[in-house]
Structure 1
Amino acid sequence: MTAADVDAVSAVRVRGWQKAYRGLMPQAYLDAMSVAADAERRRSRFGRRSPEVSDLVAERDGAVVGWASVGPARDPDIAPGAEELPAPRPTAGELLALYVAPDLIGTGVGRALMAAGTADAQAKGFHTLYLWVVRGNTRARRFYERAGFVPDGAEEAHEVGGRSVPELRYRRRLTPESAPPAPGSSSRAGS
């Protein structure tokens, strides 16, 4: 991802939320989401991103159609410094985000981003990749499960627009042969 991709990434993210979370989050909250406001926040943080986080975009015909972000795990029980992890190198990564333009869901863009994100996590030396998914988002849960992720038992709820939204944490062990091949979409990685 480059600074020039910010507006397109924000459009993918906002439209993705509005489609995926319909019925799972308050509709007024989803309707109030603004691509311009998201892009403004994303642009202000773009130059301050951690070098440990990679933002990846998927393109079709030169247009951004998907976005994923990968970095070190953030949860205290699995983050660097946790008892189960050898210090100082973190071995747990997190898929922080994965969104696809709603009209392209099911076309391989998500699989391409997952393959690129997994390869990036492995290149960073992560042995396990975690992610959080909204409990009621059955389509996303099936996608992640097909990609080899399993729930690890951790649950957390966040308030969104005055409503409690439960999330489940998933994990996947990474090995050199675990990265699925990327289908026809291209992806660019940047940190």
Structure 2
Amino acid sequence: MTFISYDDFDSFDHIYRINLINSCSGYKSANLIGTKSAEGQENVAVFSSVTHIGSNPPLLGFFCRPTTVTRHTYDNIKATKFYTINHIHSEILADAHHTSAKYNKTISEFDKTKLISEYKKDFHAPFVKGCPLQLAMEFVEEYDIKANDTILVIGEIKGLYLEDHLLKADGFIDLAEGKTAAINGLDGYAVPTSNARFGYQRPKNES
């Protein structure tokens, strides 16, 4: 088994180190976050850091890189409070990944890909049409991560849309049936084909 020490990190090429550290945490969620500026400019960008914060209230978080450069998604959320989270699926992998390209704020990634924006129930931010799971989000608060100047953005789920067959009787959402992708590192995508469920666990030998 290969061993890489902390001291080795600084000796690596910049891209090699980024790939290594981004991959070692394991598979991450693959989502497109849709926003619209106060002036009406649409934006959509891929994020691999969306994570569950709590169920009651229903909160999700995601991390933004340092705002020392323009971050359109973050700026739009702070200006309008609303955004959408859309699960990337097997049929849009290339276009979803292309939204990581750094376009000017006046250019919408929807116009540079085959991704299509859609609006539901007068919600301010655009959803990504065809995604098997779409969430309407409202900004709640943010936390500065001092260790690397990133920002944890926390939002509340105001509503969710999902394909009928994904929702099971116990509330479980079967993402494999929606061909929802996961991200390995920065640019590797995997599409799970099945789920193994084991239920709530209790200590052995207890009645």
Bigger helix share: 1
TM-score strictly above 0.5:
no
**TM-score for the superposition, normalised by structure 2:** 0.29
Higher Rg: 2
